[in-house]
Chains A and B, each alone.
Chain A
């Protein structure tokens, strides 16, 4: 009996702690949301109003109109979707070769890919910048898109790890039936790797959507080519004044697509993290 009582106390204590930590996690997001619904006068109220007196839903449309949001949203979406497709294809292709084919220099390439994960981005940024500028890609979005088709090291590594766990017998059976290697990859391995492809797709979409550095370097001088990350990042230091309610509204709209993907693919988000030590979260 005493043991049971002790357990109830510890469970209650745990719940209290969990709820306590929820406050700092959720409150900034809540604050963002309520600010987005205030009128400008309410934003400057001291002490701060946690829940606004009236809801100004039109802030969202106003914010959209003010920040050239629609265009930037489309650019971000386009770049992210294309990068996502490119990265899934390239990582699957390279991962397939590394996991299931025999060729000279396989080990070397594998270690080069792993090694390239260790290199800080800033070391390569300047020569890469020089390269894109030389071939006339400065002021375009190509420096964001093309690298996605050249395989990202971490996702290639994930693909390779995943594909080594699929039994080789599938390949052999397909070869006997006359399938070539491309067909084996697209018809047999890829359908069996759907979780892997989803993880790569999510990570690369998120990567492109969040990418701030690359557009900052290549299209900062061309506002008509700004993706949303740059537009949102620059808005507070721009000439739009300090309309924080509109800023917060735009900020919410910017994070919304990622949030939607998260709610539909929660398990894959967690799986992507779990893949770092071969297990997911149960």
Chain B
């Protein structure tokens, strides 16, 4: 068999060989990966150490960009702080809310499918459409929220104009579309074998105990995945700032991604923007690594 195979292999012209043909199927990646990933990564790392206005070629400047960002730039550190705060609010809230809603809907009741669709509906709305809608709801004069508040006898809130509130307002948009996360948790909960619950019930574990000691450990891989994707998502908030607030008021919603965008495409400081993007990348990498490290202690994998 092996001999026959090797004869077969030797006799074929190269274009009929599996190894060659496989590379033909790989062509999209063979072009796409270098063009859209490898080269841009290397080039932006190089430019992070350069002065570059986008017109002339980049000029090597050593650590100048990084020094500027961390010692002179009044906005960069603020944007880091804002982004962290945004992630710190949103990652836990969306995880808990998503899981709670999934638990709520994880029951065979009549009409439950319709409710799942309703909860999932806001996730379908394209980001831009949702932002425009909420921009209207947050309006301080004619917006729905302030209208309701005034009805109840409170004074209106400057949802997008008060720098203490704006991050909360943007978070509300995120909470609204928690349905996607809920669906992932739901599919995680439903893949927990029913025998486990039965066994737990025999041992006298009731609702909360079943959830705490059966469901929770079984869905930790999903939780872990959602934690990482949620964190990466929050660190890259952009459209909200670009469309709704322009980073304001007083840079209170000036996310780091928006700062990179303005540094590069408004102020033409491409080198500095590259440096910022690498700082962001490193932060995300370090955070992901920490979560991975910690995960060994609480994530339960069935196959292990």
List residues of A whose CB falls within 8 A of some B CB: 11, 14-15, 17-18, 21-22, 24-26, 28-29, 31-32, 35, 43-44, 46-48, 90-91, 93-94, 96-98, 101-104, 106, 109, 112-113, 116, 118-131, 147, 149-151, 156, 181, 185, 206, 209-210, 212-213, 216-217, 229, 232-233, 235-237, 244, 247-248, 251, 254-255, 258-259, 262, 266, 269-270, 273-274, 276-282
Contact indicator A255/B126 (Cβ below 8 Å): yes
Pick the contact of B281: A123, A213, A254, A259 (CB < 8 A): A123
Q: Chain B, 1-41, contact with A by CB distance < 8 Å: what is the 0/1 string?
A: 00000000000000000110111011111011101110111
Residue B184 interfacial (CB < 8 Å):
yes
Looking at chain B's contact residues, the main secondary structure is helix
Given A236-B132, A255-B129: A48 in contact with B221 (beta carbons within 8 A): no
Contact A127 B40, beta carbon cutoff 8 Å: yes
Query: What distance in Å separates the Cβ of B150 from its nearest Cβ neighbour in chain A?
Result: 7
Counting chain A CB atoms within 10 Å of each CB, which of B18, B39, B41, B136 scores highest?
A: B136
Nearest CB on A from B222, distance (A): 5
Contact A94 B132 (CB under 8 A): no
Starting from the known contacts A94-B28, A120-B277, 15 additional A-B residue pairs (CB-CB under 8 Å) come to: A15-B109, A25-B176, A29-B122, A46-B150, A103-B23, A109-B26, A109-B33, A113-B33, A120-B284, A125-B40, A128-B36, A130-B54, A149-B28, A150-B28, A254-B129
Cβ contacts under 8 Å, A44 to chain B: 141-142
Dominant SS at the A interface?
A: helix
A–B complex contacts, Cβ < 8 Å, 9 sampled = A22-B115, A22-B119, A28-B176, A48-B147, A118-B285, A122-B277, A181-B25, A274-B183, A276-B222
Contact assessment for B124 and A262 in the assembled complex, using a CB-CB cutoff below 8 Å:
yes
CB <8 Å contact, A247 and B105:
no
B257 within 8 A of A: yes
Beyond A150-B28, A151-B28, A244-B142, is A112–B33 a contact (Cβ under 8 Å)?
yes
Q: Of the candidates B139, B190, B278, which one forms a contact with A123 in the assembled complex, judged by CB atoms under 8 Å apart?
A: B278
B29 in contact with A150 (CB, 8 Å): yes
Given the contacts A31-B137, A127-B43, A254 and B142 also touching, CB distance less than 8 Å: no
Residues of B within 8 A of A97 (CB): 22-23, 25-26
Kindly supply a per-residue 1/0 record for chain B positions 38-64, scoring 1 wherever the CB is within 8 Å of any chain A CB and 0 otherwise.
Answer: 011101100100000010000000000
Smallest CB separation, B32 vs chain A (Å): 3
- Closest B residue to A49 by beta carbon equals B147
Q: Are B118 and A123 in contact (CB under 8 A)?
A: no
A contact residues around B270 at 8 Å (CB): 126, 130
State which of B67-75, B88-96, B197-205, B238-246 sits at the interface with chain A.
B238-246
How large, as a class, is the contact surface on chain B?
A: 35 or more
Q: Do B126 and A103 touch across chains, with their CB atoms under 8 A apart?
A: no
With A21-B104, A127-B43, A235-B132 as contacts: A101 and B109 at CB distance below 8 Å: no
**Bound CA–CA A151/B277 (angstroms):** 24
CB-CB under 8 A from B293, the residues of chain A are none
* Interface residue? B217 (CB, 8 A): no
CB contacts under 8 Å to A, within B71-125, are 101, 104-105, 107, 109, 115-122, 124-125
* Complex CA–CA separation, A48 to B134 (angstroms): 15
Interface membership of B291, Cβ < 8 A: no
Q: A21-B119, A29-B122, A247-B132 are known contacts. Are A281 and B183 too (CB-CB below 8 A)?
A: yes
Cβ-defined contact, A120 with B191, below 8 A: no
* Cβ B19 vs Cβ A103 within 8 A: yes
- Give chain B residues whose Cβ lies under 8 Å from the Cβ of A217: 265
Set of chain B residues within 8 Å of A120, measured between Cβ atoms:
232, 235-236, 257, 277, 280-281, 284
Among B18, B128, B148, point to the contact of A233 (Cβ < 8 A).
B128
Which single residue of chain B is at the shortest CB-CB distance from A248? Answer: B136
Which residues does chain B contribute within 8 Å of A255, judged by CB atoms?
124-126, 129
Q: Smallest CB–CB gap between B26 and chain A, Å?
A: 5
Report how far A229 CA is from B238 CA in the complex, Å: 14
Once the chains are docked, how many angstroms separate the CA of A176 from the CA of B284? 50
Q: How far is the CB of B6 from chain A (nearest CB, A)?
A: 14
Q: Provide the bound-state CA to CA distance between A101 and B16, in Å.
A: 13
- Known contacts A97-B22, A127-B39; is A277 also within 8 Å of B118 by CB? no
Report how far A119 CA is from B235 CA in the complex, Å: 12
Docked Cα-Cα span, A255 to B280, in Å, equals: 32
| B164-191 to A contact mask, C-beta < 8 Å, 1/0 | 0000000000001001100110111011
Residues of A within 8 Å of B252, CB to CB, are: none
- Most A CB contacts (10 A, CB to CB) among B22, B27, B139 go to B22
The CA-CA distance from A185 to B232 in the complex, in Å, is 35
In the complex, chain A residues whose CB is within 8 Å of the CB of B44? 123-124, 126-127
B196 interface residue (CB < 8 Å to A): no
Residues 211-235 of chain B, each 1 if its beta carbon lies under 8 Å from chain A, else 0: 0000000000110010000001001
